Amino acid sequence: MDSSVIKITEYCSYYEIEPDFVISLEGVGLIETLIIEGERFIHEEQLKDLERYVIWHYDMDINIEGIDALRNMLANLEQLQSEVLHLKEKLRVYE
């Protein structure tokens, strides 16, 4: 078994969350899972995002649609911050 994937049922059991929640995240495109020999797995690279979504859902009571909207807003914010930094660097040339 490749060590870069984690079995969803084990993850959910360890963190005491519902596997249906992870499947719902996949359904709206927030994460991708693999099915190997009938078992669903997630890549380790996606664990940070999954953990963030778990916190938003279980600790902050945000539904799947809200998680998707929040993720999109944060991505836009990061893009805007990057653009502002780029523009500030350009302005320094003219100072």
Predicted model pTM: 0.83
pLDDT in tens, 52-78: 999 999 999 999 999 999 999 999 999
Domains and CATH numbers, the chain: 5-94 (1.10.1660.10)
Q: Which of 77, 54, 79, 83 is nearest to 67 (CA)?
A: 54
Number of neighbours of residue 82 by Cβ within 10 angstroms: 10
Q: How confident is the model at residue 3 (pLDDT cuts 50, 70, 90)?
A: low
